[in-house]
Structure 1
Amino acid sequence: MNKAEKFNTNEFKKLQDQIMNPGLMATFRRMAYVSALGIVSMLFLGAVLDVDDIYSKPLSIIMAVIGINMLSEGNIIINRILNQRVPWFSQITKRIRIQVFISVLWLIAVTIIFSLVAPRSLSKDAIITFIFGTIFILGFNSVLIMRSFAYNWRQSLIENEELKQAKLKSDYMALQNQLNPHFLFNSFSVLISEIQYNPPGAVEFAQKMSDVYRYVLQQRNNLTTTLKEELDFLDDFRYLHNIRMGNALQMQTNIETGHLSMYVPPMTLQILIENAIKHNRASEKDPLMIEINSNNNHTLSVTNNINPKTTTYSTGTGLENIIKRYKFLSDKEMDIIHNDEQFIVTLPLLENEK
């Protein structure tokens, strides 16, 4: 929520508390509004209908003011109780039926009480005038309740959006944490191979592995990282695979300088490289070629040639992981092209850190 929205919400809540608050001062303030509006409406209608005894019997006006305040406060209390028992947004149709039914019962009860204690000498026209005054107050009362409904609705939408964002972030972190055990397993497998077949190079490999996994740990709680940081990480990551694969794995990068400060989800490139290695045969005679290029439309394309392994089992979780993370971060979508010669994944470069 931006600052303007927060300001508007706070102002709305302040006004809401002033009018609908159950506190003593708020109740007196509300009753003063209702009494003033009731007296003005009754006197005005009395003048329009030429009802003289409204002015000659102030006790009747006082009793009418008491009656309309009973109506007003009763409806507000009904609304307050139903907000707790039958919230608007859980059972809106049921809530409307219950509120209208109870409010009508309360109106009948107040009318009966008023008719029993009203002066017998009051003319029919005076009673009609009081009824019109009551209608005006009920309209005012309805406005208060609708403001309460609008406030609760707005708060519900805000809370739902906050819960939605919290859940999305939680899901995102769960997706990102899925990378770590998989990557650690692969790294140790390569290290074991190096220890067995190239002991002198195992120390340097272990150092590179430490640098790579340090990056993984540093990025665990980050939603995005700069493209430059991701490419620096990829250099160390590529070293680990080149130790094992030699010239069977060849990578080229062509990145515009201005794109290095843009953002991508952490370890996105690692997933795509691992995906290419997993699904394709590679040898020095027929190497796996991977190209990483930035484009003028603020996208990053990762392209590898196709030489499929026949025994590879794929669940598709790697690409699905990246797609879900981009859905969380942006409305921009990935583009995947798969033909007989190439597999191309185009990633949006994000302009703002998340």
Structure 2
Amino acid sequence: MFKQINKYWWCQLLGWSAYFLINVFFALSVYRKTSPDAAYYLNLVIFVLFGFIATHLFRRLIHRFAWVNYNFENQILLFIGLMTGSGLVSYIGYYFFGIYLLHLSDTPIQVGIVGSFLITTIWWFLYFIWHYIERNRRSQVDQLKLEATVKELELKTIKAQLNPHFIFNALNSIRALVDENPQRARTAITELSNILRSSMQTEKAETVSLENELNIVKDYLALEHIRFEERLNVRYEIDPDTLELQVPPMMLQTLVENAIKHGISRIIRGGSVYINSSLKGMQHVITIENTGQIIENNMNGHGFGLQSTRQRLSLLFGSRASFDIRNKDEQTVEATVVMPLL
């Protein structure tokens, strides 16, 4: 039963009850009324009752006019009007029943009105503060929901761009094998099928385990090894503790593809790709090194695959993650991804 009572009614009941008890406490202790008579209690009950009625009626009135949409200046005027109106209604009801009809008190009218204005001012001040805090809280929640929706849409857009980008590159690799070696081309198609199957399984996920991502990378490199043969050497150094850590799907594959396309494929003698995953403090560090050099301006960290890597890291981890690609020495390019431990 109590769960069905909303916050407003709880505040009304508890607030006016507290006012009643505070007055009784002062009557018994501060003013040393050792035994307030029945008239005192009845007089107090009537005052509380009409204060309750007045504030509730004016609250219902302003809700009909959507007062929360008013600007600050109009809300100040509304506050003054509510304080004055509810104070007068409260005192008129109390005066008519408590003083005029029942003669329960001889308090001067000026004192009674000031008392009514004071209590209704406090009531409306607390009411406005409550709604101000509640609007701010809801605004923050709505903002977080909006940011989450935008992030999800951006991630889906990037994924939608990544998959065709990868497929076209893979098909170009297979096309080069069709005339040269049909058997190898068939093997390459099988490898591509495995990659696409794994990619589809992780399509809806924002992150996947590094182990799953490595499986895609290994299939991709197996496909590329058919084309490059002995010109491509791959070396892994993976900390077992990092295999279950979460990474953006297709991120590692995109960086390895970038190393092959812009590094190994441009060198006649070929080269090597080194993939390292390790823990450094509270960070997961992935390093990809490949033979080659960053020379062209359009590849100085601004290719599509590299941009998508930065965007996804930013969307998922914010400033806690980073990505950097540079010439490590005269023969090697190094790409480094740093992510926080989830």
Give the TM-score range, shorter chain.
0.7 to 0.9
Matching of residue 346 in structure 1 with residue 336 in structure 2? yes
How far 1:311 moved relative to its partner? Answer: 9.9
Q: Write the deviation string for residues 307-354 of structure 1: whole angstroms up to 9, x where unpaired.
A: 3576977853322211222223325322414236343222235644xx
What SS class does the counterpart of residue 6 from structure 2 fall into?
A: helix
Q: Write the deviation string for residues 161-207 of structure 1: whole angstroms up to 9, x where unpaired.
A: 23322332232222222211111111222222221221121211111
Q: Is the alpha carbon distance of 1:61 and 1:350 closer, same or farther for their aligned partners in structure 2, counting shifts above 3 Å? A: closer
For 1:348 and 1:43, the matched residues in 2 are separated by: 64
How far 1:272 moved relative to its partner? Answer: 0.9
Partner of 1:7: none
Query: Among 209, 218, 221, which residue is 1:238 paired with?
Result: 221
Question: Quick check: 68-77 or 220-229, which moved more?
Answer: 68-77
Is the CA contact 1:292–1:302 (under 8 Å) kept in the aligned structure 2? Answer: yes
Partner of 1:207: 190
Structure 1 unpaired stretches of 5+: 1-13
Matching of residue 327 in structure 1 with residue 318 in structure 2? no
Matches within 5 A, 1:153-168: 153-168=136-151
Matching of residue 336 in structure 1 with residue 324 in structure 2? yes
Q: Is the alpha carbon distance of 1:337 and 1:316 closer, same or farther for their aligned partners in structure 2, counting shifts above 3 Å? A: closer
Query: Among 280, 285, 294, which residue is 1:299 paired with?
Result: 285
Q: Is the alpha carbon distance of 1:110 and 1:237 closer, same or farther for their aligned partners in structure 2, counting shifts above 3 Å? A: same
Q: Is the alpha carbon distance of 1:274 and 1:72 closer, same or farther for their aligned partners in structure 2, counting shifts above 3 Å? A: same
For 1:193 and 1:247, the matched residues in 2 are separated by: 17
Partner of 1:20: 8
How far 1:38 moved relative to its partner? Answer: 5.8
Amino acid at match of 2:79: V
What SS class does the counterpart of residue 343 from structure 1 fall into?
A: strand
RMSD, aligned α-carbons: 4.1
Partner of 1:99: 78
Question: Quick check: 277-286 or 227-236, which moved more?
Answer: 277-286
How far 1:223 moved relative to its partner? Answer: 1.6
Question: Quick check: 168-177 or 149-158, which moved more?
Answer: 149-158
Q: Is the alpha carbon distance of 1:81 and 1:288 closer, same or farther for their aligned partners in structure 2, counting shifts above 3 Å? A: farther
Q: Write the deviation string for residues 79-100 of structure 1: whole angstroms up to 9, x where unpaired.
A: 6446x4534xxx6635633532
Matching of residue 189 in structure 1 with residue 172 in structure 2? yes
Matches within 5 A, 1:258-297: 258-280=241-263, 282=265, 285-297=268-280
Q: Is the alpha carbon distance of 1:329 and 1:302 closer, same or farther for their aligned partners in structure 2, counting shifts above 3 Å? A: same
Is the CA contact 1:42–1:129 (under 8 Å) kept in the aligned structure 2? Answer: no
How far 1:303 moved relative to its partner? Answer: 1.6
Partner of 1:86: 68
Amino acid at match of 1:301: T
How far 1:277 moved relative to its partner? Answer: 3.2
What SS class does the counterpart of residue 345 from structure 1 fall into?
A: strand
How far 1:233 moved relative to its partner? Answer: 1.3
Matching of residue 227 in structure 1 with residue 217 in structure 2? no
Matching of residue 198 in structure 1 with residue 181 in structure 2? yes
Partner of 1:5: none
Q: Is the alpha carbon distance of 1:228 and 1:140 closer, same or farther for their aligned partners in structure 2, counting shifts above 3 Å? A: same
How far 1:153 moved relative to its partner? Answer: 3.2
Q: Write the deviation string for residues 268-326 of structure 1: whole angstroms up to 9, x where unpaired.
A: 11111222233336466542432111234131111223335769778533222112222
Is the CA contact 2:210–2:244 (under 8 Å) kept in the aligned structure 1? Answer: yes
Structure 2 unpaired stretches of 5+: none
How far 1:35 moved relative to its partner? Answer: 7.3
How far 1:211 moved relative to its partner? Answer: 0.4
For 2:25 and 2:108, the matched residues in 1 are separated by: 12
**TM-score of the superposed pair, with normalisation by structure 2:** 0.76
Amino acid at match of 2:262: H
Amino acid at match of 2:195: V
Is the CA contact 2:46–2:94 (under 8 Å) kept in the aligned structure 1? Answer: no
For 1:261 and 1:97, the matched residues in 2 are separated by: 57
Amino acid at match of 1:233: I
Question: Quick check: 310-319 or 215-224, which moved more?
Answer: 310-319
For 1:336 and 1:244, the matched residues in 2 are separated by: 28
Partner of 1:139: 122
Q: Is the alpha carbon distance of 1:136 and 1:222 closer, same or farther for their aligned partners in structure 2, counting shifts above 3 Å? A: same
Identity %: 20
Q: Is the alpha carbon distance of 1:318 and 1:75 closer, same or farther for their aligned partners in structure 2, counting shifts above 3 Å? A: farther
Amino acid at match of 1:232: N
For 1:190 and 1:303, the matched residues in 2 are separated by: 22
Is the CA contact 1:42–1:132 (under 8 Å) kept in the aligned structure 2? Answer: no
Amino acid at match of 1:34: W
